[in-house]
Amino acid sequence: MADNPAEEQSNDDSVNARSENTAHDIDPPKDVPPIESNQESENMEVHYHPKLEHKRKHWKEYLLEGFMIFVAVTLGFIAENIREGITNRQHARELVSQLVHDLKNDTSQLNGIYEKESDILQANSALSDLLNKPLTEVNTDRLQRLIAASHNIWMFYPSTGAIAAIKNEIHLRQFSNSNMIGLIADYEKHIDLIRTVQGITLQYQRTYIDPFLLRHFTPANLNALFNNMPAVSKDTRNLSEEDLIQMGSDMALISLNTKELLGDNRRLFADASKLLEYAEKQFNLPMNEGK
């Protein structure tokens, strides 16, 4: 602290003088219009909002509105179910109609194959009888014709388009609530079985009949017989009693397999007929719709 009072007063006067000079040196901002508070107040718009009073609804009105919403939603749901049901029924009917068409083709094909395989079985039986005779009593021309007849097979090619489509649409109520899938499963099981036996038939032909033909038939007779022409001659090559005995044993297996083919054919025909009858009855199809 200063000891001289006069010196302290002089310092205070100096500070005050600097503050006043600084205040005078600051220029006021230019080009700023003065605020006219009265004019702004006059130009302001005042909006008055009426006070709205909402009358509360009676509880019955709320109940009625809720009921109407419920009815609208329910009717929409019912309408959608009806539309979907009609669409599903129509789609299922189209698939079943195609299934009926396919099954009629299959049963017709199976009947034709059964007749041809029955002819093959008769040729097998006649050939077996001929092979049991001594070589000197064998009519080689008939031998060649019977072997050519036995060297045959009629393959079954089922129509599976509709069945595959129905299995893909198993979720449809028209199928899931019926015996359709079980009947289709039985039918497909016997299709697999007959294909297995057909494969064995081809194997037997390659294993037993083909070697006999190549060893004992002349080229001219082979060419003629497998082009549905009579044998050129009765000549055979290197045919012995032992060859006849061996071929007779082979024909026993071949005949057994042909009988299995015929049995599987009838089982498959029965499955197809049962499925066909069920489909027409279950879906009320006219007799000629699947044609």
Model pLDDT for residues 187-228, shown as the tens digit of each residue: 999 999 999 999 999 999 999 999 999 999 999 998 988 888
**Domain assignment present for 291:** no
**Domain assignment present for 195:** yes
**Domain assignment present for 125:** yes
Instruction: Decide: 163 and 262 in contact? Cβ < 8 Å.
Output: no
**Domain assignment present for 264:** yes
Q: Which domain holds residue 123?
A: 92-282
Asked whether the CA dihedral 259, 245, 153, 226 is positive or negative, the reply is negative
- Smallest CA-to-CA distance from 163 within 96, 104, 111 is with 96
For 208, the enclosing helix (H) or strand (E) is none
Return the pLDDT at 72: 73
Model pLDDT for residues 12-68, shown as the tens digit of each residue: 555 444 544 444 444 555 554 555 555 545 555 555 555 555 567 666 776 777 777
Give the pLDDT band (50/70/90) at residue 232.
confident
Number of domains in the chain: 1
Instruction: Decide: 255 and 236 in contact? Cβ < 8 Å.
Output: no
Model pLDDT for residues 137-189, shown as the tens digit of each residue: 999 999 999 999 999 999 999 998 889 888 887 676 667 677 888 899 999 99
Share of the chain above pLDDT 90, in %: 48
**Domain assignment present for 210:** yes
**Domain assignment present for 214:** yes
> Does the pTM exceed 0.85?
no
**Domain assignment present for 31:** no
What span, in angstroms and rounded, lies between the C-alpha atoms of 246 and 149?
Answer: 18
